[in-house]
Amino acid sequence: MDIAPGRTFAPDLYKFGNRIQDWAASCIELIPHERFVIVGCSVGGSCALEIMRLAPDRVAGAVLIGTKARHDPDPEALSVSQNTVENEGVAGAWERYWKPLFEQNSDVEVVQIAQEIALAQSNTALISGLKSFHTRESREDVVRESTVPIQIVTGDRDELPGIDYSRRLVRLSKRAQLHIFKNCGHYVPMMQPTKLNRLIANTIAVASGR
């Protein structure tokens, strides 16, 4: 938020419904500027790709962190994850799905902060997020067709989607660059925020012609 004070938008995506397309459309409506750089991590990266599809002329650049553009629908996975939230609550879902995405040597304090953020979500909000994630469409075509700079970011210990898939996205793109953050799992923004912020600031500068 400090990189571009007063010009940064970080909405709560869950409130926009249970479809990635609705998340993206709502985000676009929030941004008054004609052109913008979009940053998304994990399912936020999926939303970023959907924004790039819906408003390609407005996106000046993108930073996609731990993002998988290809998706094969798995109704059973959605059903199991939704049942976990309904039966075990957010705490149970945290232990099963999100805590393991922190690599083993993660800073204990950072993991605690992440847990607090997770537990602050309602069951309804989390299920909305799960539905959006599991029902999203493949968007590798968006990466392939985009002509703007795309920064692909992955932790070297992230398996979702991981280094190999991130390299695939770079090969698909006309202008993508790969950034591998060492000693880092899925949640790069929480584990290495200073380094990531430098990359975001540089992306904004390039997109702005500075």
H/E segment holding residue 89: helix 75-93
* pLDDT for the residue 36: 96
Could you tell me the CA-to-CA distances from 188 to 85, 105, 111, 204 in Å, in that order?
Answer: 25, 14, 12, 19
Q: What is the DSSP string of 172-196?
A: H-SSEEEEEETT--S-HHHHSHHHH
Q: Is the model's pLDDT at 137 over the cut of 80? A: yes
Task: Enumerate the domain spans of the chain.
Answer: 19-71+136-207, 75-131
The architecture (CATH level 2) of 19-71+136-207 comes to 3-Layer(aba) Sandwich (3.40)
Confidence label for 158 from pLDDT (cuts 50, 70 and 90): very high
pLDDT higher for 102 or 59? 59
Contacts of 102 (CB under 8 A, 6+ apart): 110, 111, 114, 185, 186, 187, 191
Please say whether the beta carbons of 76 and 84 come within 8 A.
no
* pLDDT for the residue 75: 94
Task: Average the pLDDT over 105-118 and give the result.
Answer: 95
